[in-house]
Amino acid sequence: MTRIHFTFDDIARTHPVESLTPRAEAVFALNALADERNMALAPWRREAVRRLGDMNRDIARVFRVLRPVPDLLWLLDGSVEDDHRPVGFGLTRRHMVELVDAFAEIAVVPCWTAIRGHLKAVERTQHQDVHGLLSTLHPQVRLQDTVLHIMDGDRADIRLGRNGLAIARSAFLSSRPAVVVDAERPKLIVSAVPPMSTQWWRAEDLSSTALSALLGKTRATLLRLLRDACSTGELAKRAGVSAGAVSQHIGVLRDAGLITTARERNTVQHSLTVLGEQLVLARV
């Protein structure tokens, strides 16, 4: 059992946060890919295996020696793009980033509209006050006085140091009720697996077709990729087009109010505006 201890300051600073990024969900999705016990994710799993093709072998080879949960939870802690520290067996953290990102593009991003819709529906049912929120997170997460008990088979005591707790939900976390990541600014990720994932792929196929018809295939692709903020170079690599072409499309999308650009350290990061996200999620 993991126990999270709250002070009054911690309770005051505890709050729900936006859904995870596709990369973060991909860590849990990799775990779910090999876990055939969860029948709710079986429709997603079957189609993901088909689309992954030869990549299934690469995934199986790596995860004979590593477990996505907990061995890849460091991927949720922040920027890891240039982290070349070894993780064992001749692999580095950078190798893991590339594998998880490639997996996400095939098995998570195409379903993102349906995944986000499911998580938003779950979030709308949660309590607004912190005590109510903590008391109804999951059947295997129990609040007792000022201690949150997570029935996860571990033995750990976590004290928040008056930093509070950020709470997010995952559509793929099925192996345990919740996990805690990022020791400095703790985040609790709670399982929110849907009743059934049958419509995930179909929903994205429909929204992708409509978005491409409206914006053109390349701009629609760029807009979908920007659900996870990234630089021009990263966007070009992920979209498979030149950086020059990406820059031109970015200008058009920015002028239309669909994306925003901000400098972060020595790079320029692009991300969706509220309008852009609504368009991608087929809400306008």
Whether residue 19 is found in the same domain as residue 144: yes
| Residue 19 covered by a domain | yes
Tokens 């697996």 correspond to 193
Q: From 165, 198, 231, give the residue that closes a domain.
A: 198
Whether residue 48 is found in the same domain as residue 13: yes
User: What one-letter code names the amino acid at 182?
Assistant: D
Residue 48 vs residue 235, higher pLDDT = 48
Which of 49, 45, 69 has the alpha carbon at shortest distance from 59?
49
**Residue 44 pLDDT > 80, yes or no?**
yes
pLDDT tens, 130-189?
989 999 899 999 999 999 999 988 889 999 988 899 999 999 998 889 998 876 678 899
User: How many structural domains are present in the chain?
Assistant: 2
Whether residue 178 is found in the same domain as residue 275: no
Tokens 């990369």 correspond to 23
3-state secondary structure of 181: strand
| Residue 211 covered by a domain | no
* Dihedral, 44, 137, 25, 198 alpha carbons, nearest 10: 10
DSSP H helices in the chain: 8-12, 22-34, 42-52, 55-62, 68-71, 93-107, 112-124, 130-135, 200-215, 217-225, 232-239, 243-255, 274-280
Tokens 């004979």 correspond to 64
Supply the pLDDT for residue 209. Answer: 66
| Residue 7 covered by a domain | yes
User: What one-letter code names the amino acid at 3?
Assistant: R
Instruction: Count the Cβ atoms, other than its own, within 10 Å of residue 228.
Output: 19
Whether residue 48 is found in the same domain as residue 154: yes
Compute the average pLDDT of residues 42-68.
91
Supply the pLDDT for residue 215. Answer: 86
Going by DSSP bridges, is the β-strand pair 187-191/166-170 parallel, antiparallel, or unpaired? Answer: parallel
Q: What is the residue-wise DSSP string for 9-39?
A: HHHHT-EE-PPPPHHHHHHHHHHHHH-TT-G
Whether residue 139 is found in the same domain as residue 254: no
| Residue 207 covered by a domain | no
| Residue 256 covered by a domain | yes
CA distance 142 to 254: 45
Q: Which helix (H) or strand (E) holds 74?
A: none
Whether residue 177 is found in the same domain as residue 238: no
pLDDT tens, 70-114?
888 888 876 565 677 877 667 788 888 889 989 998 999 888 877
Residue 25 pLDDT level (bands cut at 50, 70, 90): very high
CB 221, CB 67: distance < 8 Å: no
Supply the pLDDT for residue 284. Answer: 43
**Residue 128 pLDDT > 50, yes or no?**
yes
CA distance 10 to 213: 48
Whether residue 17 is found in the same domain as residue 154: yes
Residue 236 pLDDT level (bands cut at 50, 70, 90): confident
**Residue 242 pLDDT > 80, yes or no?**
yes
**Residue 122 pLDDT > 50, yes or no?**
yes
Instruction: Count the Cβ atoms, other than its own, within 10 Å of residue 54.
Output: 6
Whether residue 185 is found in the same domain as residue 127: yes
| Residue 220 covered by a domain | yes
pLDDT tens, 202-221?
655 545 667 777 888 888 88
Supply the pLDDT for residue 89. Answer: 67
**Residue 6 pLDDT > 50, yes or no?**
yes
Whether residue 109 is found in the same domain as residue 191: yes
CA distance 220 to 119: 23
pLDDT tens, 253-273?
999 888 998 876 677 889 888
| Residue 203 covered by a domain | no
Residue 65 pLDDT level (bands cut at 50, 70, 90): confident
Whether residue 74 is found in the same domain as residue 181: yes
Which residue range(s) make up the domain with 247?
A: 216-280
